[in-house]
């Protein structure tokens, strides 16, 4: 499969191009700016599946009314440590960031916060949110629903989504501990990124329409759960906590990303935040996290590895490098961002595995 070219783009330019494109599609400036900041973070981390590759889709959904451009966001405090943010189907990255702010405030006040964001759109990388919580000296767990695109262990049809999970904790120095994973072998966005660059994928990621392993990202019709029944169990748990818990659609009833871009998605996201000071001394906690990191770094690496890294650590290293030296973007996507075209009218009415 022949790969397409890439272009190195300054982070500030990339964020501004995406902001302007989203505003042209109909988003308010504040909403577009936060979304573009989030997408730039994803591309800088090297998680291109959640960055610019999504832009034409987002612009089309916004332009066609599938995102509420003027959401009436409200926080319903259901107890001293629980609450629901009613997101009114605003742009996912924008409304979920606001929901996180409510959760951070509650956790700092009560010590623990379990806050749901209900009726959101696609919200991007969960690590973006939990990192922000850790920077506020909080432990964080985040999870969310997604399209039914995964064949359950032992099954032959898609039922749950990739349903990601993220965790963070503050350290005594440097970047916080941040871990973000899909409950599939790879997130769907990774397949999209491979398509955009005309790259093949490992045959362990997904299956085609007949249930056979495939290396062609365009032939994918079902993703596989990580570690078989274990990943299957995790995605079920996440669906319950980020969907059913808030009375939202579950499993195969979760709305499709592409089926009708004029309709709102009604997705759910859940934050669980803990203030370490309610359990131990904050400095002692952060020092132990830093000690753990140092001990892992000092461990002799296995053959073929240069170092033991923490989960998510290499993404943070890529982020620092990219923010300084530029972000690699597929050249045709960069051309689209610079163009006057709002979107290509290509996603509406497609199935979950649309090109």
User: Which residue stretches of the chain have pLDDT < 50?
Assistant: none
* Cβ pair 177, 188 in contact under 8 A: no
| The predicted structure's pLDDT at residue 225 | 95
| The predicted structure's pLDDT at residue 3 | 62
- Compute the distance between CA of residue 223 and CA of residue 59 in angstroms, rounded to an integer: 26
SS3 content of the chain, % helix, strand, coil (to 5): 40, 15, 40
* Cβ pair 310, 181 in contact under 8 A: no
For the CA atoms of the chain, what is the radius of gyration? 20
Closest CA to 127 of 50, 26, 211: 50
Select the CATH number that applies to the domain covering 71-293+304-324 from these four: 3.40.30.10, 3.30.1370.60, 3.40.50.880, 3.40.50.200: 3.30.1370.60
CA distance readout (Å), 72 to 33, 91, 315: 18, 12, 34
| The predicted structure's pLDDT at residue 30 | 98
* Of 38, 48, 122, 343, catalytic: 122
Residue 122 appears among annotated catalytic residues: yes
Could you report the per-residue pLDDT of 2-37, keeping only the tens digit for each?
A: 566 899 999 999 999 999 999 999 999 999 999 999
| The predicted structure's pLDDT at residue 188 | 80
DSSP character for 178? Answer: E
- For the chain, the structural domain boundaries read 71-293+304-324
| The predicted structure's pLDDT at residue 2 | 54
- Compute the distance between CA of residue 103 and CA of residue 96 in angstroms, rounded to an integer: 10
Burial of 81 (0-12, 13-18, 19+ CB in 10 A): middle
pTM tops 0.75, yes or no: yes
| The predicted structure's pLDDT at residue 64 | 97
């Amino acid at each position: 499969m022949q790969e397409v070219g890439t272009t190195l783009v300054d982070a500030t330019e990339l964020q501004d191009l995406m902001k302007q494109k989203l505003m042209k599609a109909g988003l308010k400036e504040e909403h577009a700016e936060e979304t573009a900041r989030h997408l730039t973070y994803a591309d800088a981390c090297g998680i291109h599946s959640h960055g610019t590759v999504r832009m034409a889709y987002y612009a089309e959904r916004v332009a066609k009314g599938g995102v509420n451009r003027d959401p009436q966001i409200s926080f319903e405090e259901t107890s001293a440590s629980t609450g629901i943010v009613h997101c009114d189907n605003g742009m996912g990255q924008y409304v979920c960031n606001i929901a996180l702010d409510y959760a951070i405030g509650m956790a700092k006040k009560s010590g623990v916060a379990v806050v749901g964001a209900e009726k959101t759109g696609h919200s991007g990388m969960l690590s973006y949110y939990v990192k922000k919580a850790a920077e506020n000296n909080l432990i964080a767990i985040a999870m969310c629903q997604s399209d039914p695109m995964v064949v359950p262990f032992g099954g032959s049809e898609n039922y749950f989504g990739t349903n990601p999970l993220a965790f963070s904790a503050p350290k005594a120095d440097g970047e916080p501990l941040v871990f973000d994973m899909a409950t599939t072998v790879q997130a769907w966005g990774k397949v999209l990124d491979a398509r955009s660059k005309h790259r093949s994928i490992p045959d362990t990621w997904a299956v085609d329409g007949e249930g056979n392993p495939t290396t062609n990202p365009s032939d994918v019709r079902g993703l596989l759960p990580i570690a078989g029944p274990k990943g299957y169990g995790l995605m079920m748990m996440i669906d319950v906590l980020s969907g059913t818990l808030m009375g939202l659609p579950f499993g195969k009833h979760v709305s499709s990303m592409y089926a009708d871009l004029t309709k709102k998605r009604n997705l759910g996201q859940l934050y669980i935040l803990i203030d370490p000071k309610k359990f131990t001394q904050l400095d002692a906690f952060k020092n132990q996290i830093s000690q753990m990191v140092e001990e892992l770094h000092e461990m002799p690496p296995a053959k073929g590895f240069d170092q033991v890294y923490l989960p998510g650590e290499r993404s943070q290293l890529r982020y620092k490098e990219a923010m300084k030296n530029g972000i690699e973007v597929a050249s045709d996507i960069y051309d689209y961002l610079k163009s006057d075209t709002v979107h290509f009218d290509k996603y509406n009415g497609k199935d979950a595995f649309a090109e």
